[in-house]
Amino acid sequence: MESPFFNGVKVFYGGRPGAMQAEIRVNGERHEAASAAMTALGLPEPTTFTAVRFYALLLPVPAGGSEPSYPTTPLVLASASGQADAHTHGAACACGGHLDPEHPGFDLALPHLVAELPEAERRRRVKSDTGAIIIAEGVGNFLKVRLPIRLDDGRTVVYLAWIYLQAAVIDDFVQRVRDDNLVGHRFEGLLCNAIGPWGEDVLRSPVVLGGQRINEDGSVHHSEVLESSDPLLSKVLTETWPAAFVLGDRFPHPPSD
């Protein structure tokens, strides 16, 4: 259990009669000892093809053994005009623009851990979803942020991705939003989406985030990924990448006048 924030566990039992498979993965990697122990349980064998999956998230228990706390009040991030910042990539969006060749970007709908839950389980666990913050009981607290990647043609592709935050961090974030004291604030979390051509290699990478900024027109930026101690994600954030590698044939750069 290498992560100090959360560890994802996936349990699988399935196959056809006479050829059943049992597997346990921890943080995406097959755990041989746990898989062997599950196989040795002698689980009932179905008479037809069957697949059973179970997902769990192991969270650290704070010092003293108390349960992690979750914010009880839904949070809606508001712009200076008072309207909820529920849009992403709209025509006047400060998060990187609408999806056009000049301002390519991707809005990732759910954190990986939430997206993997069966739909019924997701409805049961998600207690708050403002579009900017998701609180999922027993899964975690997630904040949507900007993750910018510079391209070699001068453009920047923006991923609106989800970050896992510990309960104390998101409590502080919520309070700072209410106190209008978020600008310039730095805080830490874990990336909870696969990103572009790097895919799941950057999933669960630790990140440092910057608080929201107020634009000249009064609109509010999403918080932004500033840096990472993960070597690959740090390279993604700091280097310039070929547009064809990141975007493929999507969002070709428009010809200049």
The pair of three-digit structure tokens given for residue 52, joined into one six-digit string: 């059973």
What is the rounded CA–CA span in Å between residue 165 and residue 188?
Answer: 7
Position 216 scores a pLDDT of: 54
What is the rounded average pLDDT of the residues 99-104?
Answer: 71
118-127, 135-144, 210-219: the lowest-pLDDT one: 210-219
DSSP code, position 179: T
Position 17 scores a pLDDT of: 84
What is the rounded CA–CA span in Å between residue 253 and residue 156?
Answer: 11
Q: Indicate whether 135 pLDDT > 60.
A: yes
What is the rounded CA–CA span in Å between residue 228 and residue 235?
Answer: 9
DSSP code, position 201: G
DSSP code, position 197: G
Query: What rounded mean pLDDT belongs to the chain?
Result: 78
Looking up tokens 């995406």 gives 28
Chain-centre distance for alpha carbon 22: 28
Residue 184 to residues 119, 144, 148, 178, 234: CA-CA distances in angstroms?
Answer: 37, 17, 18, 15, 20
Domain positions in the chain: 7-58, 105-247
The pair of three-digit structure tokens given for residue 31, joined into one six-digit string: 């755990």
Q: Indicate whether 113 pLDDT > 60.
A: yes
Output the pTM of the full model. 0.63
Overall residue count recorded for the chain in this entry: 257
Amino acid at 71: P
The pair of three-digit structure tokens given for residue 164, joined into one six-digit string: 């896992």
